[in-house]
Amino acid sequence: MLASPISANLSVRLPPANAVASMLGELIGRAVTAKVVPAKPMVPGTQAVGAYFGECESLRVVVCCDLAVGGSLGAALVMVPAARVDECVKEKCLDEILTENLYEVFNVLAAVFPQNGAPRVIFRSLYCANVPGEVKAVLAKPLGRLDLEIDIAGYRSGRLAILAAGRT
């Protein structure tokens, strides 16, 4: 198993892939695997982006996923049929239900970050459009990153990237 990329100068530690898969699987009640893959830029307008802040209100982590895995996580949370995810991917937009559910998934995902004495982060915002400049800057040039291929039993697979914004 590949170790997750961790930089000693980051106050937020990037979690190992298996911790991400385990947390997501426990949350949605399905088998989830996460495989470390090479970094690849997401195509604007085909992703969901979550922003996590430190206790001093500074941006610490950005999580970005393609609509296939974002929709699948949102759908699997409440057992929405996979066909609905396919429709949203085709339309290049998650519907309201899947967006609300993905918000909850990203909120719970915050628990994978405070490890090895690293400070806690708090999920604040989910963007499917109109990503703020501060978040775009992290997407363009993160201080650290972990890129994963996420596979969800019964749903579409896709990419999820965890990007470190740096110190507070």
Give Cα separations from 62 to 10, 103, 142, 160, 161 (angstroms).
Answer: 14, 13, 9, 11, 8
**Which tens digit of pLDDT belongs to each residue from 28-83?**
999 999 999 999 987 777 899 999 999 888 999 999 999 999 999 999 999 999 99
Check which CATH number belongs to the domain holding 130 and give it. Answer: 3.40.1550.10
Specify the DSSP class assigned to residue 147.
E
The string of pLDDT tens digits covering residues 124-145 is 999 998 999 999 999 999 999 9
Residue 1 lies in a domain: no
Residue 7 lies in a domain: no
> How many domains are there within the chain?
1
| Cross-sheet strand order for the sheet of 158-164 | 32-36, 144-152, 158-164, 59-66, 47-53, 122-127
Range of the domain at 88: 17-37+44-164
Residue 8, domain member (yes or no): no
Confidence band, pLDDT 50/70/90 cuts, at residue 11: low
- Maximum alpha-carbon separation in the chain: 43
pLDDT tens profile 78-125 = 999 999 999 999 999 999 999 999 999 999 999 998 875 677 899 999
